[in-house]
Amino acid sequence: MGLVTFDFLALLALGAVLYRFVPRRARAAFLVAASYLFYATWNPGMLLALFASTAVVFAAGRWIEAWRERPAVSRLVAIAVGVLVAYLAVFKIAEAMRLGGGFVIPLGISYYTFKLISYLIDVYWATGPAETDFLCFAAYVAFFPQIVAGPIQRGSDFLPQMHRAPLATAPMILSGITRIVLGCFKKLAVADTLALLVNYGFNHATGTAGLPRLMAFYVFPLQLFADFSALTDIAIGAARLFGLESPENFDAPYSAASISEYWRRWHMTLTHWLRDYVFTPLRMRLRNWGNAGLAVSLTVNMVLIGLWHGLTLPFLVFGLIHSVYLVVDALTAQYRKKLYRKRRWLSLVTDWIGPVVTYHLVAIGDVFFRARSFADGFAIVARLYSGVTVEFGTVVSAIQAGAWIGLGGYALVEVLEYIRRRQPELRVAAAPRWIRWSAVSCALVVAVFFLAVLLARKSAVNPFVYAIF
């Protein structure tokens, strides 16, 4: 069941309504049942793996907290984390080898496995208590708005909310519906429209015509952002209908003036996870290595990000490219700061040119993220500006015309995101009655419009890019 389908939105609305009538003590059980039902619509055969990993980690967390002062507990943590990493790696390797026999990778395995790993480490580090309520813990692991593609929420953030089990307030419901509608707009009007151009360009990567290849190079980062952030918007909005807040995953990444700033703004829950549980511990172990230790830590971190998406050569190259970017950025940071202090005008120039340069660097890495093979990715980068001829008939063809619509939609998305970041809370409850009813009416009209679009749409919605990870 896709997230941008009438079936999902109808079941979400029904679940949110029923949840309000569930007694507080039974709300965790309700969310577990709803999440497992949602999971079963994708692949019921993998429910056992989800339940087993949840039960094992729940028990391991209790043992780790009880034995924290014993020397053997570190071995227990290492074994438990190792088993989870192996559990994820087995499925990733099987996927990379494209095993037959109807093999299907479990839905959201990368996301819920990272949740389980961080939970165990937090209990071991005593940064969060071990959960004592299995249903609350199961709801945390399998929470259906997040299990498809995150955001990767920490147990210390989700579990206290689950214990309180609050009902959504009117502002939360309105903001939740707004985020869901925004996510549907990003997916249907922007990402899927831009995908027409991107798919054509990458499918003809080695062709002689250069314009489709060049346009795909510049447009794919926009499509990827619209597609992935749409998933996040729907997840955050859906969670709010149940009175639960989720972490943000994006913060205007393409306005970043450097590659390090870009990674602080892109897929933030994943980068923060790797920073806390991979980069920082590794950096501390290698601190005596100086700059070499820093370079190794950054390289390992970015290679893991690449391989987390899939055990393929293009994803490995994607990680290595960004590791080079970040190593150069980190090793020249002090020099650049001194230079900016001496020549302040350079800092102002960087504020304007930096996002343009960063976007091009990101787009180069994204070529290998999207390319079907390393050869196709290399062909696009090596021949990026060769054979580019602009003809009016080509620019306004069916594919390019759809892309122009998508680019217009993306511009609107940027405006809406700008407003949302500066107005994080909707003060509808404190507004006069006519404003409250107007806001609610507008939200409902837009929601009904998108439902009508989904019902009238004959072709299936393209799968989300990040739903396969």
Q: Which residues contact 469 (CB under 8 A, 6 or more apart)?
A: 110, 111, 149, 308, 309, 310
- pLDDT for res 118: 93
Mean pLDDT of 123-138: 90
Q: Is residue 251 part of a domain?
A: no
Mean pLDDT of 201-220: 78
**Among the three residues 113, 131, 166, which one is the final residue of a domain in this structure?**
166
pTM of this structure: 0.86
- Tokens coding 28: 């965790």
Find the helix packing angle between 109-125 and 47-66, rounded to 10°. Answer: 10
Range with lowest mean pLDDT among 35-44, 103-112, 143-152, 154-163: 103-112
Q: pLDDT category, 430, cuts 50, 70, 90?
A: low
Nearest-angstrom CA–CA distance, 288 and 283: 9
Q: Which DSSP category does 465 fall into?
A: G
Q: What angle do CA 78, 84, 87 make, to 5 degrees?
A: 135
Q: Is residue 306 part of a domain?
A: yes
Nearest-angstrom CA–CA distance, 216 and 207: 13
100 exposed, middle or buried (CB, 10 Å; 0-12, 13-18, 19+)? exposed
- pLDDT for res 378: 86
- pLDDT for res 298: 93
CA diameter of the chain: 73
Residues 26 and 146 in one domain: yes
In order, the DSSP letters of 312-363 are: SHHHHHHHHHHHHHHHHHHHTHHHHHHHHHH-HHHHHHHHHHHHHHHHHHHH
Q: What percentage of residues in the chain have a pLDDT greater than 90?
A: 33
- pLDDT for res 447: 62
Q: Which residue has the higher pLDDT, 462 or 391?
A: 462
Residue with tokens 């993306």: 410
Nearest-angstrom CA–CA distance, 84 and 90: 10
Q: Is residue 141 part of a domain?
A: yes
**Among the three residues 389, 410, 437, which one is the final residue of a domain in this structure?**
389
Q: Is residue 13 part of a domain?
A: no
SS3 content of the chain, % helix, strand, coil (to 5): 75, 0, 25
Residues 282 and 234 in one domain: no
Range with lowest mean pLDDT among 15-19, 259-263, 317-321, 423-427: 423-427
- pLDDT for res 112: 92
- Each residue of 329-386: pLDDT tens digit? 998 888 877 777 777 766 667 777 888 999 999 999 999 998 888 888 888 888 777 7
- pLDDT for res 456: 56
Q: Is residue 242 part of a domain?
A: yes
- pLDDT for res 143: 93
- pLDDT for res 371: 85
Q: What percentage of residues in the chain have a pLDDT greater than 70?
A: 83
Q: Give yes or no for a contact between 172 and 243, defined as CB atoms under 8 angstroms apart.
A: yes
Residue with tokens 């929420």: 153
Domain extent at residue 421: 1-7+167-246+393-469
Q: Is residue 406 part of a domain?
A: yes
Q: Which residue has the higher pLDDT, 460 or 320?
A: 320
Nearest-angstrom CA–CA distance, 199 and 445: 33
Q: Give yes or no for a contact between 129 and 123, defined as CB atoms under 8 angstroms apart.
A: yes
Does the structure show a pLDDT above 50 at 69? yes
Q: Is residue 12 part of a domain?
A: no
Residues 124 and 146 in one domain: yes
- pLDDT for res 398: 47
Mean pLDDT for all residues in the chain: 83
- Each residue of 6-40: pLDDT tens digit? 778 888 889 999 999 999 999 999 999 999 999 88
Residue 399: half-sphere exposure toward Cβ, Cα within 13 Å: 14
Residues 148 and 49 in one domain: yes
From 163, 204, 272, 309, the catalytic residue: 309
Does a cis peptide bond (omega within 30 degrees of 0) precede residue 424? no
Nearest-angstrom CA–CA distance, 312 and 95: 10
Q: Give yes or no for a contact between 179 and 236, defined as CB atoms under 8 angstroms apart.
A: yes
Q: Which residue has the higher pLDDT, 285 or 342?
A: 285
Residues 66 and 133 in one domain: yes
- Each residue of 161-191: pLDDT tens digit? 999 988 988 888 888 888 898 888 888 888 8
**Among the three residues 338, 367, 389, which one is the final residue of a domain in this structure?**
389
Q: What angle do CA 384, 386, 391 make, to 5 degrees?
A: 105
- pLDDT for res 134: 94
Q: Is residue 252 part of a domain?
A: no
Nearest-angstrom CA–CA distance, 170 and 162: 19
Nearest-angstrom CA–CA distance, 218 and 187: 18
Residues 385 and 327 in one domain: yes
Residues 203 and 282 in one domain: no
Q: Give yes or no for a contact between 140 and 115, defined as CB atoms under 8 angstroms apart.
A: yes
Residues 145 and 181 in one domain: no
Nearest-angstrom CA–CA distance, 116 and 139: 12
Closest CA to 32 of 51, 46, 10, 5: 51
- pLDDT for res 238: 93
Q: Which DSSP category does 134 fall into?
A: H
Range with lowest mean pLDDT among 184-198, 208-222, 258-272, 455-469: 455-469
Does the structure show a pLDDT above 80 at 395? no
Does the structure show a pLDDT above 90 at 43? no
Catalytic status, residue 322: no
- pLDDT for res 235: 92
Q: pLDDT category, 449, cuts 50, 70, 90?
A: low
Residues 363 and 448 in one domain: no
Nearest-angstrom CA–CA distance, 449 and 454: 9
Return the number of other C-beta atoms located less than 10 Å from residue 442's C-beta: 12
Residues 151 and 28 in one domain: yes
Closest CA to 76 of 137, 110, 120: 120
Residues 379 and 415 in one domain: no
The domain tally of the chain equals 3
Q: Give yes or no for a contact between 169 and 151, defined as CB atoms under 8 angstroms apart.
A: no
Residues 202 and 148 in one domain: no
- Tokens coding 385: 């500006």
